[in-house]
Amino acid sequence: MKPGGTNSERSTPLRTRHRQIVDNISGQGWGLSVSQPFATWHYRYMDPRAGTVAQESDLIDVDELIAAYYDRTPNPDDPAQKVVFGTSGHRGSSLDAAFNEAHILAITAAIVEYRTLQGYDGPLFIGRDTHGLSEPATNTALEVLAAAGVEVRVDSRDSFTPTPAVSHAILRANGVGSAQGLRTTGPGLADGIVVTPSHNPPRDGGFKYNPPHGGPADTDATSWIANRANQWLRDGVEKIERVSLAAALGATTTRPYDFRKHYVDDLPSILDFDAIRSAGVRIGADPLGGASVEYWSEIAERHNLDLTVVNPAVDPRWAFMTLDWDGKIRMDCSSPYAMASLVARMSAPDAAYDIATGNDADSDRHGIVTRDGLMNPNHYLATAISYLYSGHRPSWRPDAAIGKTLVSSSLIDRVGAGLGRNVIEVPVGFKWFVPGLLDGSVGFGGEESAGGSFLRKNGDVWTTDKDGLIMALLASEILAVTGKSPSVIHRELVDEYGQSWYARVDAPATLEEKAKLGALSPSQVTSTELAGEPITAALTEAPGNGAKIGGLKVTTKNAWFAARPSGTENVYKIYAESFVSADHLKQVQDEAKQVVSDALAD
């Protein structure tokens, strides 16, 4: 039998499961709710085939996608076709003239100019994921980088590279692990490019820049790069110098780098593999067809773990995936629909694994599946924080804070208070955790969208970008050291700090609607109460660093909601949480929905 079983073996129990889910939420009105123990997801629009295996009609034509990459010319005056950096790079589809050769020529040329202006003259590490557009875009970038004389480091195995491996390589080149330690100024600084749209559907491509600190570029950098790239599109990308791909690969400035070896060899500095081996934890790792596929097999071999790669298939169409909430193929390892196959495996009476994990296409996100099901990302973040800060990383600074985004669960705040640790709340985007991770003042940074990273055991920085591999492996360490699965520990946290009901609503939004939502202000909240409780704050800036949140957050003693446009897809998101009840959460959602409706109607 092929890894993962046949379509019929996988789809039958999933359809049954989906039917049970739908039965649970009939009549709720505000969207579908997927409820497992202490976990809730909400979506406003639900495709009836969500959670079932993709059909032929769902699959992209890879040849058409790649042909469009080269053949279609974007209109730089069309907002949907120009270069736009969201929370993590420029994303789009060649079929929409939003991710084409012209875009990559322009962005790469802009990055060359930007790094020259900044004085970055060390190697540039470039990695790609498994999306169909990633290899063509990588090739285009190499042609421009070689023509500009940039020292480039490409994967020595001509294979896929997870985002955290690129961050790890940048930091290593800039001194992490050396006697001198990390440096972010001076000659020879390294930086990087990751070609990935992360968890986005197969039709999309993505391109992001990581400066010498190893994490996502901040808005100062991305705004400059995007503006310059759009100027290149207007002036004509044919003016950009480039060489042939053969010449780029053969250039003396283009050299191999073994991303996988350096990353995998270094993992014992951040994780307790001795404990995992001694406890005999059986791990099932599902790369979801992404860049971690060869990393997981090497981790198992190198560190002698009882780890099975559940599905080693790589297919740019992702024909083996189960459909996400909206009927799209999306490698979102925090979604119970995208993860339905792995959840079904773990729910079987004869499940072969103690812990199962999933990653998105570039492996910067994690999904944790225990015998209780897929953990809500917020619940796993709280569990990981509780474990790491409870004496299991004694060499971390005693004042090392906890980093969370403002749309993450308030359970994290309560856990942090119980641990006596400061919780720093920042806007959405992992870039906000970079300074704290670099100097050790933040031990752990996490996002509700299933992204996180933490320090090495000695308190030094590991990666400054999200790392789905270490977050997944940490679940096995937690089980090995405590004898309890992460979901059991989460239940204990609920007993101590109270149960919350958390939901995120996603709905389609145009660029104009997203702009309106991004401009929400406290003045649009005219009420003094939210769901029967006095409003304690209406925020457009994050309390942890004063940065704009690109939306609005409203809080009370026992509840909150936040509304913001997505930085990666044409959807808007409403997040809400209540420590009172499910009914109270719905009240919060209804009032949040009214705020958004009023904003879109203006």
Structural Rg of the chain based on CA atoms = 23
Helix (H, G, I), strand (E, B) or coil at 206: strand
Average pLDDT for 215-243: 96
33 vs 107, higher pLDDT? 107
Query: What pTM does this model have?
Result: 0.90
* Cβ neighbours around 2 below 10 Å, total: 11
pLDDT of 266 strictly over 80: yes
Q: From 290, 313, 334, 312, select the one nearest 164 (Cα to Cα).
A: 290
Burial class (CB in 10 A: 0-12, 13-18, 19+), 198: buried
What dihedral angle (degrees, nearest 10) is formed by the CA atoms of 131, 134, 135, 139?
Answer: 180
Q: From 397, 385, 387, select the one nearest 439 (Cα to Cα).
A: 397
- Give the chain's mean pLDDT: 90
Average pLDDT for 411-417: 97
What dihedral angle (degrees, nearest 10) is formed by the CA atoms of 303, 305, 310, 316?
Answer: -10
At 5, the pLDDT band (50, 70, 90 cuts) reads very low
At 12, the pLDDT band (50, 70, 90 cuts) reads very low
**pLDDT in the model for residue 596:** 81
Strand 533-534 vs strand 529-530: parallel, antiparallel, or unpaired?
antiparallel
Contact by Cβ (8 Å): 136, 103: no
Contact by Cβ (8 Å): 11, 284: no
Measure the CA–CA gap between 556 and 538, rounded to whole angstroms. Answer: 9
Q: Convert the pLDDT of each residue in 153-163 to its tens digit.
A: 999 999 999 99
Amino acid at 517: L
Average pLDDT for 225-247: 98
At 235, the pLDDT band (50, 70, 90 cuts) reads very high
Distant-in-sequence, close-in-space partners of 286: CB < 8 Å, separation ≥ 6: 309, 310, 311, 339, 341, 342, 356, 357, 358, 359
Q: What are phi and psi of 37, to 5 degrees?
A: -55, 115
**pLDDT in the model for residue 4:** 33
pLDDT of 1 strictly over 80: no
pLDDT of 28 strictly over 50: no
pLDDT of 27 strictly over 70: no
pLDDT of 285 strictly over 70: yes
Using CA atoms, how far residue 587 sits from 98, 498, 583, 593, 599, in Å, is 39, 19, 6, 10, 19
Maximum separation of any 2 CA atoms in the chain, in Å: 67
Buried/exposed code over 282-301 (b: 16+ C-beta within 10 A; e: otherwise): bbbbbbbbbbbbbbbbebbe
Distance of CA 451 to the CA centre of its chain: 5
Distant-in-sequence, close-in-space partners of 386: CB < 8 Å, separation ≥ 6: 415, 419, 489, 493
Q: How is residue 593 written in tokens?
A: 């929905």
**pLDDT in the model for residue 2:** 28
Strands (E), 147-290: 152-155, 191-195, 204-210, 254-257, 282-286
Q: Convert the pLDDT of each residue in 87-145 to its tens digit.
A: 678 999 999 999 999 999 999 999 999 999 999 999 999 999 999 999 999 999 999 99
Given the residues 198, 363, 386, 485, the one annotated as active site: 198
**pLDDT in the model for residue 177:** 79
Helix (H, G, I), strand (E, B) or coil at 482: helix
Measure the CA–CA gap between 83 and 224, rounded to whole angstroms. Answer: 11
At 232, the pLDDT band (50, 70, 90 cuts) reads very high
Q: Convert the pLDDT of each residue in 575-590 to its tens digit.
A: 999 999 999 999 999 9
Contact by Cβ (8 Å): 424, 402: yes
pLDDT of 568 strictly over 70: no
**pLDDT in the model for residue 228:** 98
DSSP state letter for 392: I
**pLDDT in the model for residue 7:** 32
**pLDDT in the model for residue 254:** 98
**pLDDT in the model for residue 35:** 32
Q: Convert the pLDDT of each residue in 54-87 to its tens digit.
A: 999 999 999 999 999 999 999 999 999 999 997 6
**pLDDT in the model for residue 594:** 85
Measure the CA–CA gap between 296 and 298, rounded to whole angstroms. Answer: 5
Using CA atoms, how far residue 326 sits from 11, 25, 204, in Å, is 17, 16, 16
Average pLDDT for 247-275: 98
Buried/exposed code over 330-340 (b: 16+ C-beta within 10 A; e: otherwise): bbbbbbbbbbb
Distance of CA 171 to the CA centre of its chain: 20
182 vs 51, higher pLDDT? 51
Burial class (CB in 10 A: 0-12, 13-18, 19+), 597: exposed
Q: Quick check: is 198 catalytic?
A: yes
Q: End-to-end alpha-carbon separation of the chain, Å?
A: 56
What DSSP string describes 519-557?
T--GGG---SEETTEE--EEEEE-TTT--EEEEEEEE-S
**pLDDT in the model for residue 22:** 32
Domains and CATH numbers, the chain: 68-257 (3.40.120.10), 263-497 (3.40.120.10), 501-601 (3.30.310.50)
**pLDDT in the model for residue 290:** 98
**pLDDT in the model for residue 45:** 65
Q: How is residue 575 written in tokens?
A: 């997040």
Distance of CA 59 to the CA centre of its chain: 23
Q: Convert the pLDDT of each residue in 346-383 to its tens digit.
A: 999 899 999 999 999 999 999 999 999 999 999 999 99
* Cβ neighbours around 439 below 10 Å, total: 12
Contact by Cβ (8 Å): 308, 287: no
Beta bridge partners of 442: 401
